[in-house]
Amino acid sequence: MPSTGITCLALRRLSCQVHPLQKFLYSKLRITTTWVQTPFDHYTHPCQLTWFGSLITYRSFSNKSTNSNFDTASRSDIAIASEKMCDEMSLYSAIEPRSSGFLEVSKLHKIYYEECGIKDGIPVIYIHGGPGGGIGDRDRRYFDPEAYRIVLFDQRGAGKSTPAFSLEENDTWSLVADIEKLREHLGIEKWVVFGGSWGSTLALVYAEKHIDRVLAMVLRGIFTLRKEELRWFYQEGASYLFPDRWEEYVEPIPEEERGDFITAYYKRLTGDNEEERLRCAKAWSKWEMATSQLRVNPENLSRCADDIFSLAFARIECHYFVNKGFFDSPNYVLDNANIIHESGIPVTIVQGRYDVVCPAKTAWELHKKLPNAEFYLIEDAGHSAKEEGITKKLVEACDKYKTLVKV
């Protein structure tokens, strides 16, 4: 980050379209703008951040009183605030669902879903990560609500879906069937399919199974659940880059069981000891939350304080990994990608260069299977969709596909 005279002036995004002054600042001066909750107070308001050497001055433009006397902050803290400002600027304005409900997909499971945007817009389905991650308010904001009919849902056992963190009747092919049931329930013929991380896995296998229902695909942080991908992140590989966070991950597992962390965790996450189950769920979840961005983001880590989130995230992820994704072959997702290629549907792949959760090698291999896909390797990003370059490309892709003809 430069050491002299860069100023970030935060301006509210006034509508779904980028404000002209914002566009000028961003394109000409590379200054990012938005309203943000800064680390220095408890309000969301315009502020000015100016870099001077190793310190950064902070000046509020709000008339509201604050609970903070900070005039300076560490470069690390302000970098996180700046990244959030950049990320926020790229997204559409926050919106609320215009409808929501629960769809019974089996005698046991009901999945929560919601719709945003306009009812006669281009349908798009947002497929969350994990498995077990659930949807959030931010996930609605990649899509122009004046052009899209935005559908989001919590997969079995995740988010608001019931029963919470259930592993029974919870597998990849049940989720694919759930997506189809949801499409039929909403009366949608075809839709754009959007997914990141595990969401990219599920998006790909859904498209491979129901290619006639897909208008286009937007994929991020590609994951195909192969043995080498799981070993890299959960056994040996990413541990070399985050040794401090790795210690917290391995701590709950006895030395004699550390030759297979996934199996050892699964034993505890599905065991009868509730205290140990929650402890392991939090350790498992913190490991991924800590490594998903180039800089450790406290907001990600704070999600692990929620017991229900940690239990759903860790239990369901581990369940899928132990069962090898419920695929018939180790390379199932890539082996069947030719179905997508031969269909001719447009595909955009967005991948962080320094993604340690789902390394870029898998995304590159998918691109070779889908040579006509738009492929963007973001040089200054990790795994998270919350990083500026990734967010920007995802929104750009969705803006491009909003001109597709609805079927």
- Return the active site residues: 197, 355, 383
For residue 112, which of 139, 90, 79, 91 has the smallest C-alpha distance?
139
Residue 103 has φ and ψ, to the nearest 5°, of -115, 125
Question: How many C-beta atoms surround the C-beta of residue 186 within 10 A?
Answer: 18
Tokens of 392: 């920007």
Q: What size, in residues, is the chain?
A: 407
Secondary structure letter of residue 326 according to DSSP: G
Q: Where are the alpha helices (DSSP H) in 2-100?
A: 20-24, 75-90
User: What interhelical angle do 307-322 and 274-291 show, nearest 10?
Assistant: 80
Beta bridge partners of 44: 37
Question: How many C-beta atoms surround the C-beta of residue 320 within 10 A?
Answer: 23
Question: How many C-beta atoms surround the C-beta of residue 60 within 10 A?
Answer: 18
